[in-house]
Amino acid sequence: MKYTSSLAERTILAVNRLIVATMTSAWITTLRHQHLLAPPQQDHDADEIGSLQERSPAADDQLLH
């Protein structure tokens, strides 16, 4: 009887480890997926750089002269 309970206990522990590993993998996948779908955060420096890049070369020439 002791052998049966030991076998059952080891089986339960193995199933618990499998469940924990599966849940951890699913959680990590979800976090990665959310990170990929999250809108990019913009700061003020990025907005200024973007507006400078949108300016035409002709506008740059007018600023230099």
Asked if the structure places residue 7 within a domain, the reply is yes
Asked if the structure places residue 61 within a domain, the reply is no
Asked if the structure places residue 2 within a domain, the reply is yes
* Concatenated DSSP letters of 15-41: HHHHHHHHHHHHHHHHHHHHHHHSPPP
Across residues 10-15, what is the average pLDDT? 96
Q: How much is the pTM?
A: 0.48
How far is residue 1's CA from residue 52's CA, in Å, rounded to a whole number? 79
Asked if the structure places residue 26 within a domain, the reply is yes
DSSP state, residue 5: H
Is residue 57 over pLDDT 60?
no
Asked if the structure places residue 55 within a domain, the reply is no
Asked if the structure places residue 31 within a domain, the reply is yes
Asked if the structure places residue 52 within a domain, the reply is no
Residue-level pLDDT at 42: 64
Is residue 32 over pLDDT 80?
yes
For residue range 19-29, list pLDDT tens digits in order.
999 999 999 99
Asked if the structure places residue 20 within a domain, the reply is yes
Report the greatest alpha carbon distance in the chain.
96
Across residues 36-55, what is the average pLDDT? 61
The count of domains in the chain is 1
Q: pLDDT tier at 35 (50, 70, 90 boundaries)?
A: confident
Look up the domain containing 25 and give its range.
1-38
How far is residue 39's CA from residue 53's CA, in Å, rounded to a whole number? 21
